[in-house]
Amino acid sequence: MAQLLLLALAGLTVGHQQTPADAPQPFITKEDIADTTRLALTPKLDGTIDSEEWDPFVQSGDLDTYFQWEPGKMYLAAKAPIEDEVIYSFDLKNNGWLVGRDNVEIRLRRTEAGIQVKGRVLDADNKNGPKWIDVPGISIAAITAGSVSEDGKTWTAEVVLNDPGTGYFLDGPGRIGARVDAIPVGSTEAASYVPRAIEQIKLGYKRSTGLPGGVMWEPQGEGQYVSPGSKLNLRYTFKGDSATEFQRIAMRSEGFTKELTNSMEVPFPKPDRKGRAFVDYGTKVQDGAAEGYRVARCVIVSKDGATSMGQASYRVAPPMDIELVPPGQSQKNKSTLLKVTVYLRSNSQDKYQGTFHMSPPTGFTILTGNDKPFVLYKTQTVRRVLEMSVPPNAVGTYPFDLTAKIGNKEIKRTGYVTIQY
């Protein structure tokens, strides 16, 4: 077995040009990750990586990569040499590579038709040894944008991975394993039984960097929803003796809401008798702000000039969310009838009254639960159960168009159902 593993590790570079002995080796070299806490942050997919739009992940040589998330989605971006493809590896249960059936590989490749996404899952529970299983649904549910540099030497990819109806992606904060590699297009693929050096990553709504030892920073209100035209309120709490050395604190939003929210700088307050200091960041989010998760930051300057930073995610939310709940990975086409659940969630203080409609793909027919009226009071949730007929021998991932009609306004989303391969 030891001989087999050594041969496999050596085979990782078959097809590559020879490199110095100390050059990073795909999948096995420990990576220098910019920050192991990844913030909820929604990018704009246009093939351009804008300032404060993306959270840097791994920068190595000519490869720049980015990784962030929001509930039920993961966002990937990369700038790579034109001859390379980029491979993200995820251990979604954070229980180790080659353990279980939750190791997912996402391969990004530039083609003349655009950015190609290929997803597959490693089944390490297979009694005959680890086995890769292609998951076309990952590509079906993905949205991409890309570009090529003017000199033709590099390409850029921006990708949103929507859950294809399998429940792969976390719907809230948690921990996963992750890494990213770039390899020349056409390289020999590593064997399925070869381990990968995965780093533990925290998906969250807050993080801090550079704080003095013994100082704790805690935002109150991280992850909150705010509608365009409404007010965002965040309170930052600092604890610890070293907080007495802080002198000033500057606060603002990052990225796409930077110019649509307040920016302020104030003296750092004196801690109370319990060693706590409170700083409030309140701002109106202007009308026209793009929906999605954004980040508010505070930068603290100490008396000696040292700086530290805290960041907290918040969401510029639509009036309503529509969520199609996947039937589950155990769903197989054993029956021609299928029930699915849809949640309508209000993000507003207003009352909404309307009708909900789900449009199925060709061959599917909604039998019950469609086009029924609903009433949503502030921040309320309404559940709808729909039964449909499924085409004979239907297998794969299917998109469903979800529409809530409120007066003359329509709110549209897409959900996915996967019937196991």
What is the tens place of the pLDDT at every residue in 306-350? 999 999 999 999 999 999 997 865 455 456 889 999 999 999 888
> CA 249 to CA 134: how far, in whole Å?
50
Share of the chain above pLDDT 70, in %: 92
Residue 222 burial (C-beta neighbours within 10 Å; 0-12, 13-18, 19+):
buried
Longest dimension (CA), the chain: 72
β partners of residue 386: 340
Residue type, 380: Q
- Give me the pLDDT at residue 392, please: 85
CB 378 within 8 A of CB 349: yes
Query: Phi/psi zone of residue 65: left (φ > 0), alpha (ψ -120 to 50 degrees), beta?
Result: beta
- The token pair that represents 292 in the structure block: 């999605």
- Give me the pLDDT at residue 124, please: 94
pLDDT tens by residue, 244-291 = 999 999 999 999 999 999 999 999 999 999 999 999 999 999 999 999
pLDDT tens by residue, 56-108 = 999 999 999 999 999 999 999 999 999 999 999 999 999 999 999 999 999 99
> CA 208 to CA 217: how far, in whole Å?
7
> Which residues, at least 6 apart from 53, have a Cβ–Cβ distance to it below 8 Å?
43, 44, 255, 256
pTM score: 0.90
> CA 48 to CA 156: how far, in whole Å?
7
Nearest to 155 by CA among 110, 196, 209: 110
* 3-state DSSP percent of the chain in helix, strand and coil, to 5: 5, 50, 40
> CA 79 to CA 82: how far, in whole Å?
9
Alpha-carbon Rg of the chain, whole angstroms? 24
What domains appear along the chain, each with residue ranges and CATH number? 2-204 (2.60.40), 206-316 (2.60.40.10), 320-419 (2.60.40.10)
Provide the CA 209 distance to its chain's centre, in angstroms: 21
DSSP secondary structure string, 16-55? SPP--TTS--TTTSPP-BS-SEEEB-----SS---TTTS-
pLDDT tens by residue, 17-32 = 444 445 567 899 999 9
- Strand positions, DSSP E, 221-275: 225-226, 231-239, 246-253, 264-267
> CA 68 to CA 82: how far, in whole Å?
24
- Give me the pLDDT at residue 335, please: 60
Nearest to 293 by CA among 222, 381, 200, 378: 222
- Give me the pLDDT at residue 24, please: 63
Handedness of CA 171, 172, 174, 178 (dihedral sign): positive
Handedness of CA 346, 347, 349, 355 (dihedral sign): negative
> CA 354 to CA 336: how far, in whole Å?
30
